[in-house]
Amino acid sequence: MKTIYGVFGDPIEHSLSPLMHNAAFQALGLECEYHAFRVTRDNLRDALVGAAALGFGGVNLTIPLKEKALEIVEPDALARKIGAVNTVDFKGGMRGYNTDGIGAILALKDKGIEVRGKKVLLVGAGGAARAIAYKLAWEGARVTIANRTIQKAVSLAGEVGGIGVGLDLLGELIQDSDILVNSTSVGMFPKVNETIATAEIMHPGLVVLDIVYNPLETKLLQEAKRASVGAVDGVMMLVYQGAEAFRIWTGQNPPIKVMESAVREALKR
């Protein structure tokens, strides 16, 4: 009998996780299947208890369930600090993890970029930023957080031992950074002409990671290319957060290239 995995969220119909994980299961010949389920916040507890009772292997959680899950599952230390769970493993109970931050770090590593000791400017202070900020700090990066609502930047920076600022000095801050990460929704479809930074304020040696993957090449990444600096797209973060969930569930090395191709093919359509 196949082991079932899934992603819970609302809305969920456009999730790329099923095709990404199913491609991985197939590539490794695992008797597993991954599906998307529309689950509201109010139904999350029932859905998780039900999935565990039905013998699911694990689930991913996405908007709007990641924070609520903390009350239901047993989170590890990182997920507890971040305040959000994106991966639940049903082996021996309901263990909660957050693989979003490691997804961003591995997306950079995939391109040969280490974050230890680097000055990283993280733009945004929302849910995604929290996961990335904690993991960056954990990995030894020097983190500055810039956010439209400055108080959120200051508060998150205080938690991870970084500096929190507003967006007004972004130009100067980028000049002083090794890595720029956009964790805001700026540039996401349909507002594809928006960007947090242009080529003029990017210096040689800078690397830009945009977690937005719709469109694949955001205006920010176009600007990075125009400035001839490193550009890493959001697909890699999506793939690596999924890959780490896959590793937690199956104990196997995730087939990264297979997962990446599945996502890129789907985004082309």
Residues near ligand ATR, by CB under 6 A: 124-129, 147-149, 152, 183-186
Q: What is the largest CA-CA distance in the chain?
A: 58
Q: How far is CA 121 from CA 96, 100, 195, 213, in A?
A: 28, 17, 15, 19
Least distance CB 148 / ligand ATR (angstroms):
3
Nearer to ligand ATR, 129 or 220 (CB): 129
Instruction: Assess contact for 136 and 114: CB atoms under 8 A.
Output: no
Beta bridge partners of 59: 6, 88
Residue nearest to ligand ATR (CB): 126
Nearer to ligand ATR, 57 or 101 (CB): 101
Q: DSSP character for 161?
A: T
Least distance CB 191 / ligand ATR (angstroms):
8
For residues 241 and 83, what is the distance between their CA atoms, to the nearest angstrom?
17
Nearer to ligand ATR, 98 or 177 (CB): 98
Least distance CB 66 / ligand ATR (angstroms):
8
Least distance CB 28 / ligand ATR (angstroms):
30
**Cis omega (within 30 of 0) for bond into 11:** yes
For residues 18 and 201, what is the distance between their CA atoms, to the nearest angstrom?
38
Mapped onto helix, strand or coil, the DSSP state of residue 36 is strand
Assess whether 135 carries a catalytic annotation: no
Nearer to ligand ATR, 32 or 188 (CB): 188
What are 191's two structure tokens? 């507002």
Residues noted as catalytic? 66
